[in-house]
Chain A
């Protein structure tokens, strides 16, 4: 099964590197979506089916923490796992992101293995949860 992934980072180069890293990690991706900030990400999330969001924190217009907060306020979007991929490595940033609902945290600079491990861990969980009754009841078609 392949997952649709949204990569949110104001650096086009970093988005490209993350995409390439996911590709070589062997993680199965259906479609990649890209956004340069939280606002663009929300527009994509409103129109497309996304299974996983990887987002930077420090971005113009709407940062990664604001994006998580907006997603958390939305009944459908709050179920999408979010992983922070960011230079912000302080304990405070990590703690705040996790409190706000992020499922994982990858610090830049990263090794391809860091991304692979995180995606397998999180999407493995998501896949395990597919047969849950509450998801079937909502009619999600993975």
Chain B
């Protein structure tokens, strides 16, 4: 399996999902500054992870600032941002990762050799600014008009 092809498919899928379901135009940022430099110190993040298995195994993850998670949840559910609760936010972040990962495999793996797991939220501790440098994998940095987010593929 070519990781580069997988990353390319991931980029296409993220743009597609965020535009279609969450009304967010995203740009891929060609920079390898790392997650710690990408997100501001003290910025609250939500993260979800999803394992995959098959010809090779690993995990995907997505990191989104809480205010952006709130915005995409409001867009997704057709509610005002002020009406969104924490449960709806985490559920939407997990579903976003689920759709991005499924879309990625639809491009990368049309024969269906890979199997996707169930998305799970990352802990607050995993997402502390100090620990962002410890997150493994190939990182994709993305930005919207107002925000920065990131996704990654980590192979086992």
Contact = CB atoms under 8 A, between A and B. Distances in A.
A joins B in a complex:
yes
Interface of A: 10-14, 16-17, 20, 58-60, 86-93, 107-111
A13 B91 contact: yes
A88 B118 CA distance: 12
B67 interface: no
A20 B73 contact: no
Contacts of A11: 91, 94-95, 98
Interface of B: 16-17, 20-21, 73, 76-78, 87-88, 91-92, 94-95, 98-99, 101-103, 105-106, 109-113, 116, 118
Contacts of B88: 12-13
B102 A88 contact: yes
Closest 7 CB pairs of A and B: A87-B102, A92-B112, A89-B106, A90-B112, A109-B20, A109-B21, A11-B95
A139 to B, nearest CB: 40
Contacts, number: 74
Given A13-B91, A87-B101, 18 more contacts: A11-B95, A12-B87, A13-B77, A13-B88, A14-B95, A16-B77, A17-B76, A20-B77, A87-B98, A87-B102, A87-B106, A88-B102, A88-B105, A90-B109, A108-B98, A108-B99, A109-B16, A110-B20
A40 B49 CA distance: 25
Contacts of A93: 112
A111 B98 CA distance: 17
Contacts of B87: 12
Tell me whether chain B's interface is mostly helix, strand or loop, or mixed.
Answer: helix
B88 to A, nearest CB: 6
A130 B113 CA distance: 40
A93 B88 CA distance: 28
28 contacts: A10-B118, A11-B95, A12-B91, A13-B73, A13-B76, A13-B77, A13-B88, A13-B95, A16-B77, A17-B76, A20-B77, A58-B118, A60-B118, A86-B102, A87-B99, A87-B102, A88-B106, A89-B103, A89-B105, A90-B110, A91-B110, A91-B112, A108-B21, A108-B103, A109-B20, A109-B21, A109-B99, A109-B103
A20 B79 CA distance: 11
A27 to B, nearest CB: 17
Contacts of B78: 17, 20
B118 A109 contact: no
Contacts of A59: 118
A90 B106 contact: yes
B111 A91 contact: yes
Contacts of A13: 73, 76-77, 88, 91-92, 95
B103 to A, nearest CB: 7
